[in-house]
């Protein structure tokens, strides 16, 4: 009106003003007609008569009188009717009007995604993000523009089968009740008959059963009127603990409709017990509404946990994250506790529906808010005492660009779900499926810690939460340092990266907490390095859980680590520097070694440590302690080994030991005993000379009285004689 009035005041010729006056006189009539049509469309929307709503707005668009609001409502009607191509075309036309809102831009991006036009969708998500940068929904796609490629990557992750029970009408909402598959169908049998639901111009939904036969189900029969009503009766869950059937229906209770303040008939949860009839046959008990139903909101898609302790459901009740959310109630014995929202890890500003708890640990559900391939995708999250973990998309072929929903299982991997994908008999069909156990997808980049440049060709392996390498898994970082990994679901993993000229890098990953598609592996290059193994002194096996500390020449701590099951350690070193490596594990002797890079152009200094248990009477053999024939003086090579014992005693100053020397069986007993005593004393004197308190060490010669090899003297080999000529120490106190 403002523009027209401005024109009316301008200096137009008289004839033009006459025509404008006629147009102004006609305008109220046209506006009244348009408002009448909009009012009729609103009324159709209130009763979910989207075909009528679409017809009215189509007429408005065809006359050129429709504005952005009219187009928005027409697109909504098309979406509700399952006509995505028309919805997309309407949104596209709306984008050219200049009257679109940021919400319209997002809806257009969502429609493009649901129509499989992923590149276009990413572009419009970008437009929306520029208008509302704080909205995480668009950012989830923009941060991972290859997400659609990833979700489509593995067609072997599941197999999907058609079933003989489907009809040309909608079949959906599968659930399992002992040997039966229970589902909803609009095929028009039973209570309500062929009464048409205006939304999709099909009969109202009723519950049906079919016989489970292996991986399929057949012989569908409509359930009795005790369960079905003349309105919608849908998604169910059988509580085997209480012998009770929970299901969704319109708020219609024994002939009474409970509408909300707008006059709409919302959904509620109802249940009926299996009872023993007059002739001992099982029958349905009274219909009972869920105690938390509220006619002002929708409650539906109930799912009782296998142990009967929780009831999950979908609702648009206040206090959620937006749209419909997944909620649950605790079983308090004779009633269900107050509804608890699953929280933002599961719920989004979109719609979350069809919860299903598998094996009391994995929650499967449907979402339009988490990043996915289509309108509705199936997701899962592992539950723990801390709550739900990270949400994962099941990917193709369980999810498509169409609506996929209502997954349930009959064992660990075999189940049923519903979809409106092509290839079925009707608008929604029920499919059988075999789903590979949940997997975890990870992706990231390997870079040089100092230069931040990508590292190609790094070898990546994974260890599970029990420390075992994942079988048949080894990948290399691609050009640009990028990598992608898919492994069976575990709560924790250790990512191990190796590359020549770099230290091995280990990265702990918590599946439910860490950003698994933004992993950065920083590898430290070295010219000088210290590396080695920490071993159990008795078994020689790698020792896990040992603390390894690198200090400088003044014993200032530079770096530390704890060994894993490999027992490996590694540190970067600088040129012309002195270092000390200290190794400690509770219940074992501490050890240390001094190393230096001074005078060395480059290279790796390797030092292995054998940690012996620190227990009284523990006997430890000192290797490579040799004496010249018939002599007891300390040779240079023996001094090197005794220096290691000196370092051990310095690291364990409270330990008292007995150092003993043994001979082989050749020679006279008395001579061998005297020789061994001299050798033991000589070793102890050497150790005391290095600063070990004499009260901490005593000497003892045993001669040939305690051979380590059980061989007859005349038949002992040279190696056996050598092993009998040994030096040991025994722990007296700690």
CB 536 within 8 A of CB 609: no
Which pLDDT value is given to residue 221?
93
What does the pLDDT look like over 324-364, one tens digit per residue? 999 999 999 889 999 999 999 999 989 999 999 998 889 99
pLDDT over 90 at 311, yes or no:
yes
Give the sign of the dihedral formed by CA 112, CA 114, CA 119, CA 125.
Answer: positive
Give the sign of the dihedral formed by CA 290, CA 296, CA 301, CA 306.
Answer: negative
Average of pLDDT values for 47-66? Answer: 80
Average of pLDDT values for 280-290? Answer: 84
- How far apart, in whole angstroms, are the C-alpha atoms of residue 190 and residue 684? 99
Structure tokens that stand for 706 in this block: 């305690």
- How far apart, in whole angstroms, are the C-alpha atoms of residue 308 and residue 384? 17
pLDDT band at 715 (very low <50, low <70, confident <90, very high): confident
pLDDT over 50 at 267, yes or no:
yes
pLDDT over 80 at 551, yes or no:
yes
Distances (CA, A) of 454 to 458, 477, 485: 10, 9, 17
What residue ranges of the chain are covered by domains with CATH 2.115.10.20?
A: 159-284+294-437
Closest CA to 225 of 265, 190, 184: 190
Domain 619-733 sits in CATH 3.40.1390.10: no
Which pLDDT value is given to residue 73?
87
What residue ranges of the chain are covered by domains with CATH 1.25.40.10?
A: 33-151
The class level of CATH for 440-519 reads: mainly beta
pLDDT over 50 at 28, yes or no:
no
Domain 159-284+294-437 sits in CATH 2.115.10.20: yes
Which pLDDT value is given to residue 198?
63
Contacts of 510 (CB under 8 A, 6+ apart): 491, 492
Closest CA to 247 of 277, 217, 205: 205
Of 3.40.50.2300, 2.60.40.10, 3.40.50.620, 3.30.479.10, the CATH number of 528-611 is: 2.60.40.10
Average of pLDDT values for 445-473? Answer: 90
405 strand-pairing partners: 418
Assign a CATH topology to domain 33-151. 1.25.40
Peptide bond into 397 cis (omega under 30): yes
pLDDT band at 603 (very low <50, low <70, confident <90, very high): confident
Average of pLDDT values for 380-388? Answer: 89
Cα 552 versus chain centre, distance: 42
pLDDT over 60 at 432, yes or no:
yes
Task: Calculate what percentage of the chain has a pLDDT beyond 90.
Answer: 46
What residue ranges of the chain are covered by domains with CATH 2.60.40.10?
A: 440-519, 528-611
CB 583 within 8 A of CB 699: no
Task: Calculate what percentage of the chain has a pLDDT beyond 70.
Answer: 91
What does the pLDDT look like over 148-178, one tens digit per residue? 888 887 666 799 999 999 999 999 999 999 9
pLDDT over 50 at 733, yes or no:
yes
Which pLDDT value is given to residue 627?
66
Distances (CA, A) of 367 to 17, 36, 325, 364, 568: 57, 36, 9, 10, 45
What residue ranges of the chain are covered by domains with CATH 3.30.1330.60?
A: 619-733
The mean pLDDT of the chain is 86
Structure tokens that stand for 443 in this block: 């992706």
Model's pTM, two decimal places? 0.68
Which pLDDT value is given to residue 104?
93
């Amino acid at each position: 009106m403002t523009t027209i009035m401005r024109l009316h005041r301008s200096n137009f010729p008289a004839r033009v003003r006459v025509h404008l006056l006629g147009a102004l006189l006609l305008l109220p009539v046209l506006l009244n007609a348009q408002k009448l049509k909009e009012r009729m469309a609103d009324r159709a929307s209130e009763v979910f008569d989207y075909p009528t709503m679409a017809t009215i707005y189509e007429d408005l668009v065809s006359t050129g009188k429709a504005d952005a609001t009219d187009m928005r409502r027409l697109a909504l009607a098309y979406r509700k009717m399952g006509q995505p191509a028309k919805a997309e075309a309407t949104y596209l036309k709306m984008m050219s009007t200049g009257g679109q809102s940021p919400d319209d831009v997002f809806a257009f991006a969502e429609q493009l995604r649901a129509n499989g036009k992923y590149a276009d969708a990413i572009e419009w998500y970008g437009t929306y993000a520029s208008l509302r940068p704080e909205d995480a929904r668009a950012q989830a796609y923009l941060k991972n523009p290859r997400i659609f490629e990833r979700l489509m990557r593995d067609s072997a992750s599941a197999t999907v089968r058609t079933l003989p029970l489907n009809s040309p009408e909608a079949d959906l909402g599968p659930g399992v009740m002992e040997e039966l598959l229970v589902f909803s169908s609009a095929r028009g049998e039973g209570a309500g008959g062929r009464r048409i639901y205006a939304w999709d111009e099909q009969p109202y939904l009723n519950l049906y059963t079919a016989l489970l036969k292996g991986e399929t189900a057949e012989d569908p029969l409509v359930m009795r009127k005790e369960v079905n009503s003349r309105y919608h009766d849908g998604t169910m869950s059988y509580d085997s603990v209480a012998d009770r059937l929970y299901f969704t229906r319109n708020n219609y209770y024994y002939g009474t409709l409970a509408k909300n303040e707008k006059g709409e008939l919302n959904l509620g949860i109802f249940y009926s017990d299996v009872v023993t009839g007059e002739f001992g046959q099982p029958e349905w008990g009274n219909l009972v509404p869920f105690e938390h139903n509220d006619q002002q909101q929708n409650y539906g898609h109930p799912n009782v946990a296998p142990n009967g302790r929780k009831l999950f459901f979908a609702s648009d009740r206040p206090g959620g994250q937006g749209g419909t959310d997944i909620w649950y109630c605790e079983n308090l014995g004779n009633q269900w506790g107050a509804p608890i929202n699953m929280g933002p890890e599961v719920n989004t500003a979109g719609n979350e529906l069809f919860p299903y708890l598998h094996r009391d640990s994995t929650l499967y559900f449907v979402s339009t808010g988490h990043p996915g391939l289509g309108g509705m995708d199936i997701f899962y999250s592992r539950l723990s005492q801390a709550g739900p973990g990270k949400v994962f998309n099941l990917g193709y072929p369980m999810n498509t660009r169409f609506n996929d929903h209502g997954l349930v299982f009959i064992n660990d991997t075999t189940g049923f779900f519903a979809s409106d994908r092509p290839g079925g008999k009707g608008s929604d069909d029920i499919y059988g499926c075999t789903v590979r156990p949940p997997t975890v997808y990870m992706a990231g980049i390997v870079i040089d810690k100092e230069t931040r440049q990508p590292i190609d060709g790094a070898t990546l392996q994974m260890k599970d939460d029990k420390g075992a390498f994942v079988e048949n898994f080894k990948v290399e970082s691609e050009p640009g340092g990028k990598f992608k990994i898919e492994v069976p679901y575990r709560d924790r993993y250790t990512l191990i990266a190796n590359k020549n000229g770099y230290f091995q890098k280990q990265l702990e990953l918590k599946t439910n907490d860490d950003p698994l598609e933004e992993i950065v592996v920083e590898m430290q290059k070295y010219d000088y390095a210290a590396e080695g193994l920490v071993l159990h002194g008795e078994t020689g096996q790698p020792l896990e859980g040992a603390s390894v500390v690198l200090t400088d020449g003044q014993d200032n701590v530079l770096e530390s680590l704890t060994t894993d099951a490999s027992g490996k350690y590694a540190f970067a070193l600088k040129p012309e520097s002195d270092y000390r490596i200290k190794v400690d594990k509770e219940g074992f002797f501490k050890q240390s070694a001094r190393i230096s890079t001074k005078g060395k152009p480059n290279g790796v200094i390797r030092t292995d440590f054998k940690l012996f248990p620190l227990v009284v009477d523990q006997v430890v053999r000192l290797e490579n302690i040799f004496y010249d024939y018939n002599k007891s003086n300390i040779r240079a090579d023996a001094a090197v080994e005794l220096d290691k014992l000196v370092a051990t005693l310095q690291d364990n100053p409270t330990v008292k030991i007995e150092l003993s020397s043994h001979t082989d069986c050749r020679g006279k007993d008395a001579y061998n005993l005297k020789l061994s005593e001299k050798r033991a004393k000589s070793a102890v004197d050497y150790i005391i000379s290095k600063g070990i308190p004499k009260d901490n060490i005593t000497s003892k010669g045993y001669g040939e009285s305690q051979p380590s090899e059980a061989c007859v003297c005349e038949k002992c080999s040279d190696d056996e004689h050598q092993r009998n000529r040994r030096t040991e120490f025994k722990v007296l106190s700690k």
